[in-house]
Amino acid sequence: MFFGRFKVEPGLTKKSIIEINEFKNVDGLWIPVKAKSKMNDELPGGGYMKSDYEIELESIQINPDYDALNSFSIDDIKNGAKAAIHGIPILYRWYDGKLVLCKN
């Protein structure tokens, strides 16, 4: 089984928590602006990984003009750029506006 781009082996335990500590009302929407993230992984053979960090949203724009910002434009992607589809462990490359499967 794959978790993101990492293979989950038997004996691995993943525990991740995001604790939202503060919300802010922005244009009638309640947005989480401060949170704590905690990750604890138990690895096969008795190893572990632990990560704790704080997240703070500094700014947000509700309903931006995506056309004016040129968001989601593929014009800036250079040929040969590595690409992947989330959750699929296969590598692609970008050529002339299309994803091409890598052979190696």
Q: What DSSP line would sit under 5-19, residue for residue?
A: TEE--TT-EEEEEEE
Confidence bin at 4 (pLDDT 50/70/90): low
pLDDT one-digit tens code per residue, 50-89: 899 999 999 998 888 988 887 877 777 889 998 887 777 7
Rg (CA), the chain: 19
Burial (Cβ within 10 Å: 0-12, 13-18, ≥19) of residue 61? exposed
Q: How wide is the angle at C-alpha 40 spanned by C-alphas 34 and 42, nearest 5°?
A: 170
pLDDT of residue 11: 74
3-state SS of 67-99? Answer: HHHCCCCCCCCCCCEEEECCCCCCEEEEECCEE
| Higher-scoring residue by pLDDT: 23, 10 | 23
pLDDT greater than 90 at residue 3: no
- Answering whether pTM is above 0.75, one says no
pLDDT of residue 29: 92
Q: Which residue from 78, 16, 64, 65 is spatially nearest to 41, judged by alpha carbons?
A: 16
